[in-house]
Amino acid sequence: MQKRTTIKDLSRILGVSPSTVSRALHDHPDIGKALKQKVRELATALHYYPNAMASQLRQSDNKTLALIIPEITMFFFPSVIEGITQKVREHGYQLMVLQSHENLQQEIENIKTCINLRVNGIMISLCRDTHQLDHLKEAAEMGISIVIFDKTVPNNRFPFVGIDDKNASQKAVSWLTFQGCTKLLGIFGHPHMSISNQRREGFETACMQLLPTGGAFKSVHALNQADAAHQLHALWSQFEPDGIFCMSDEVLAGVMPTLSKIADNQAKSSKVIGISDGKLPFLFHESLHFLHHDGFKIGTATAQCLLNGLQMGGKSIDVPVIIQETPIVGNRQ
C-alpha cells in the first residue's frame, strides 16, 4: 500500500518549509505565482489530499473534544465511551478517541496531538505509568479544559470523576464476611497503578477490622486476565479461600473460569464479588454479586463536568471531585 503524501513530503522535495507549502496550497498572497504552480503540480503528481479533519480541528471554535484512554477493551471503557458520546453530542460537540496503550510516552504524544489540533477539552483516564501531570499542565496553559476520570494521582489539581476505591473494596469485604467467609483472597491489577493500590489498601484494612479471630487473607496483583487465572490456580493448594474479591472485570474474567476448573468442592462453594460495570457478571453465574461501577454514568458525569468547565471558561474557583456510588448488586436475585 502506498504511503499517503503529506505536506512534509512536499516541503522536503521542494526545499521549502511545510508552512510555505501550506500557504501556497491555500493561495496565500505572500507566496509567488511560480512557487504556487510548482507546489500544485507536485501535489497533483504525488496524489496529495489535504487532511480535512485536521483543517477542521484547527479552526478557532472546532467544537471537538478528545477522550484519551489506556485501551479500548470489552471491559468498562465501551460503556464510558457511550456515556461521553451521548452527552457531548447533545451539546453539539464531536468526540475524538485516542489510546495510550498503557504507555506514558504515547499518552504524552496524545496530549501534544490535542494541543496541535486545538481541541476544546480533554477527558483522560491515565495510563499505569503516569505519576505526575506536567504534560496535562502544558495543555491547560494552552487554554484546553481537562477532566481526569477513573484513575488519578496524588496531588491532582484537575477535576476528577471516579469512585471511592478504598470504600468499594471495604464494602466487598463486608459483604464476604457477612456471607460467613473467613479466608479472603483479593486479586488486584497492575501494582504500578494507584487504583490497584487504593483498592488493595481498602481490602486489607477491612480484612484486619472485620475478619474474626482465626481468619486470614491474602492480596496478589495480576497483570491481566490470564495472570489473574494463573495467580488463583497457583495459590489454591496453599490457601483455598472461601471468599474472593476481584478488583475489576478483567480480574473477574480470569477468576470465574478458573474456579470452575479446580477439582475441589471448596472452589465451587467459594463466594466471589468484584467491582464491575455489570455486564460481565451476567455471563458467569446466576448468583454472582458485584459492586456496580457504572461506566455509562462515569462517562456522562465526566462529559458534563468538562462541559460545565467550558461554559465557565475555566474560571471556576472550586475544582470538582465527583464520586459515583458503587452499590452492591445481586445478579438475577
Q: Are 184 and 173 in contact (CB under 8 A)?
A: yes
Cα 101 from chain centroid (whole Å) = 10
Task: Using the predicted structure, report yes or no on whether residue 283 has a pLDDT greater than 90.
Answer: no
Task: Match 477527558 to its residue by C-alpha cell.
Answer: 123
Note whether 249 and 317 are same-domain residues.
Answer: no
Residue 206 covered by a domain? yes
pLDDT (tens digit, 9 = 90+) per residue, 271-282?
999 999 988 888
Note whether 80 and 130 are same-domain residues.
Answer: yes
Note whether 203 and 305 are same-domain residues.
Answer: no
Note whether 183 and 261 are same-domain residues.
Answer: yes
Note whether 271 and 173 are same-domain residues.
Answer: yes
| Residues listed for the chain | 333
Note whether 64 and 103 are same-domain residues.
Answer: yes
Note whether 273 and 244 are same-domain residues.
Answer: yes
Task: Match 474472593 to its residue by C-alpha cell.
Answer: 244
HSE-up (13 A, CA, CB side) for residue 14: 25
pLDDT (tens digit, 9 = 90+) per residue, 41-89?
998 888 887 765 566 555 556 789 999 999 988 789 999 999 999 999 9
**What is the C-alpha separation between 175 and 209, in angstroms, rounded?**
13
Task: Using the predicted structure, report yes or no on whether residue 267 has a pLDDT greater than 90.
Answer: no
The larger pLDDT score, comparing residue 331 to residue 209, is at 209
**What is the C-alpha separation between 247 and 189, in angstroms, rounded?**
7
Arithmetic mean of pLDDT, 255-271: 85
| Domain count of the fold of the chain | 3
Predicted model pTM:
0.80
CATH code for the domain in which residue 315 is found: 3.40.50.2300
How far does the chain reach from its first CA to its final CA, in angstroms?
55
| pLDDT computed for residue 116 by the predictor | 83
Note whether 300 and 213 are same-domain residues.
Answer: no
| pLDDT computed for residue 53 by the predictor | 56
Range of the domain at 86: 60-163+296-324
| pLDDT computed for residue 89 by the predictor | 94
Note whether 247 and 309 are same-domain residues.
Answer: no
**What is the C-alpha separation between 99 and 82, in angstroms, rounded?**
16
Residue 332 covered by a domain? no
Note whether 98 and 180 are same-domain residues.
Answer: no
Average pLDDT of the chain is 90
Residue 329 covered by a domain? no
Q: What are the start-end ranges of the E strands in the chain?
A: 64-69, 94-99, 121-124, 145-149, 160-163, 183-188, 216-221, 243-246, 271-276, 289-292, 321-324, 328-330
| pLDDT computed for residue 80 by the predictor | 96
HSE-up (13 A, CA, CB side) for residue 135: 19
pLDDT (tens digit, 9 = 90+) per residue, 172-217?
999 999 999 999 999 999 998 889 999 999 999 999 999 999 999 9
The larger pLDDT score, comparing residue 227 to residue 29, is at 227
Arithmetic mean of pLDDT, 227-255: 94
- Measured torsion, CA atoms of residues 282, 286, 289, 291, in degrees rounded to the nearest 10: 20
HSE-up (13 A, CA, CB side) for residue 326: 26
Q: Of all residues in the chain, what percent carry a pLDDT higher than 70? A: 93
Q: What are phi and psi of 5, to 5 degrees?
A: -75, 135
| pLDDT computed for residue 68 by the predictor | 98
Residue 105 covered by a domain? yes
Residue 330 covered by a domain? no
> Residue 42 in 3-state DSSP?
helix
**Nearest-10 crossing angle of helices 77-90, 295-312:** 40
Residue 76 covered by a domain? yes
Residue 1 covered by a domain? no
Note whether 127 and 146 are same-domain residues.
Answer: yes
Note whether 84 and 105 are same-domain residues.
Answer: yes
- Confidence band of 286 (pLDDT split at 50, 70, 90): low
- Rounded to 5°, the CA angle 135-140-141 comes to 100
107-112 contacts, C-beta under 8 A, 24 or more apart: 107/68, 107/135, 108/135, 110/66, 110/68, 111/68, 111/135, 111/136, 111/138, 111/139
Task: Using the predicted structure, report yes or no on whether residue 143 has a pLDDT greater than 90.
Answer: no
Residue 55 covered by a domain? no
| pLDDT computed for residue 265 by the predictor | 74
